[in-house]
């Protein structure tokens, strides 16, 4: 379906379009996690499970990617299989890559930044992923700061993630988000989670007790005219968390190897994820899948709460 008077490059699937038209809850899902974040075929299995989890919690999943130069909101099974099978051959597409991939009619996997852009175009306000990009360790040398952070500062989508991964410089990532006015909200926690582990040693700005709390804060932010998103950080469920000391050692080793091999720029995150999956004998991948499913469930609850809130406010305005 070509959305009403929407962007000419955008295709919204019929299922997502009718949910949006009826004000029903929708959760955006990214595709770089499929193509560059996990190996085939578990990436495809996980993408399907994530969609099923969103449905089970009362929302419609909208996987976002670029297929043949079209911005897709609601990628079908065939599209997900393509992204998963081709993996790193697919262009990892962030804000700066979008115009080129679209112009050339290529396939592109959207990062958190690009997924936020496309979600916002379609009117989707809640997005679930695993981890966001951030300020990289060694930023003094590399100047590597993910475009995800600037997108969070300007595009109105709440991003549910498992905190900030310790392949990144967590402290500097938080400082950057503060400077750019992005709230970091802990879901039922005061501690910022660090992806595979529940506590990074850093705090969050605010703690939310419920999906309703998060939905209210989103609505207030945007009613105030404060553009930009929000990071909603949910810790990996206790039973799936990995040992912090052990993971830190594997992450340090992977970063050393990356530096000695001269891997930089957009290649860094995919390299680190696959190296850590190898050195942990797949345990990091299992944990990654568990936390993504957990985030999908929470994002669906937030999307439901946000839609209910909008219905209530509209009801009041009409009465
Ligand atoms: N973190 C993960 N898995 C991922 C990514 C980050 O644990 O797949 C992906 C996301 O798509 C994120 C991107 O937006 O990496 C960040 O890349 P960069 O640092 O190049 O901006
Ligand atoms: Mn980068």
Task: Quote the CA–CA distance of 315 and 6 in Å, as a whole number.
Answer: 26
Rg (CA), the chain: 18
> What are the angstrom distances between the C-alpha of 273 and each of 41, 85, 88, 94, 151?
16, 17, 13, 18, 22
Pocket test for ligand 1, best of 129, 139, 231, 289 (most atoms within 8 A of CB): 129
Instruction: For residue 93, tell me if it sits in a domain.
Output: yes
Instruction: For residue 4, tell me if it sits in a domain.
Output: no
Strands 108-110 and 60-67: antiparallel
The residue contributing the CA closest to ligand 1 atom 17 is 133
Pocket test for ligand 1, best of 131, 151, 292 (most atoms within 8 A of CB): 131
Instruction: For residue 5, tell me if it sits in a domain.
Output: no
Instruction: For residue 193, tell me if it sits in a domain.
Output: yes
Q: Residue 114 is inside which H or E element, if any?
A: helix 112-122
Contact (CB, 8 A) for 278 and 257: no
pLDDT tens per residue across all 319 residues of the chain: 544 568 999 999 999 999 999 999 999 999 999 999 999 999 999 999 999 999 999 999 999 999 999 999 999 999 999 999 999 999 999 999 999 999 999 999 999 999 999 999 999 999 999 999 999 999 999 999 999 999 999 999 999 999 999 899 999 999 999 999 999 999 999 999 999 999 999 999 999 999 999 999 999 999 999 999 999 999 999 999 999 999 999 999 999 999 999 999 999 999 999 999 999 999 999 999 999 999 999 999 999 999 999 999 988 888 7
CATH code at position 31: 3.40.1790.10
pLDDT digits (tens, 9 = 90+) for 64-81: 999 999 999 999 999 999
Q: What is the pTM of this model?
A: 0.97
At a CB cut-off of 8 Å and minimum separation 6, what does 183 contact? 205, 206, 217, 221, 230, 231
**Counted domains in the chain:** 1
pLDDT digits (tens, 9 = 90+) for 282-310: 999 999 999 999 999 999 999 999 999 99
Task: Quote the CA–CA distance of 61 and 199 in Å, as a whole number.
Answer: 29
Task: Quote the CA–CA distance of 211 and 232 in Å, as a whole number.
Answer: 10
* Partners of 61 in the β-ladder: 27
Instruction: For residue 2, tell me if it sits in a domain.
Output: no
Query: The domain containing residue 277 runs over which residues?
Result: 10-318
Strands 10-12 and 108-110: unpaired
């Amino acid at each position: 379906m070509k959305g009403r008077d929407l962007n000419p490059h955008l295709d919204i699937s019929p299922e997502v379009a009718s949910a949006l038209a009826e004000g029903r809850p929708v959760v955006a899902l990214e595709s770089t996690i499929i193509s560059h974040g996990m190996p085939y075929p578990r990436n495809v299995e996980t993408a399907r499970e994530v969609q099923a989890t969103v449905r089970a919690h009362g929302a419609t999943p909208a996987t976002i990617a670029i297929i043949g130069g079209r911005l897709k909101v609601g990628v079908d099974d065939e599209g997900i299989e393509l992204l998963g099978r081709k993996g790193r051959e697919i262009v990892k597409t962030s804000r700066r890559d979008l115009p080129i991939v679209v112009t050339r009619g290529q396939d592109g996997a959207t990062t958190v930044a690009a997924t936020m852009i496309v979600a916002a175009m379609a009117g989707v306000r809640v997005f679930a992923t695993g981890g966001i990009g951030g300020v990289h360790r060694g930023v003094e040398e590399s100047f590597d700061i993910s475009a995800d952070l600037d997108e969070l500062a300007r595009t109105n989508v709440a991003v549910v993630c498992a905190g900030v991964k310790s392949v990144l410089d967590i402290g500097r990532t938080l400082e950057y988000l503060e400077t750019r006015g992005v709230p970091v909200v802990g879901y039922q926690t005061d501690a910022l989670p660090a992806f595979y582990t529940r506590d990074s040693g850093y705090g969050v700005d605010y703690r939310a007790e419920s999906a309703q709390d998060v939905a209210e804060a989103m609505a207030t932010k945007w009613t105030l005219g404060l553009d930009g998103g929000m990071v909603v950080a949910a810790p990996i469920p206790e039973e799936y968390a990995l040992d912090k000391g052990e993971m830190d050692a594997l992450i340090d080793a992977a970063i050393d190897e990356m530096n000695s091999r001269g891997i930089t720029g957009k290649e860094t995150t995919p390299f680190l994820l696959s190296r850590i999956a190898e050195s942990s004998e797949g345990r990091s991948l299992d944990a990654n899948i568990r936390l993504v499913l957990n985030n999908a469930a929470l994002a669906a609850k937030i999307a439901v709460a946000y839609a209910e809130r909008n219905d209530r406010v509209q009801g009041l305005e009409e009465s």
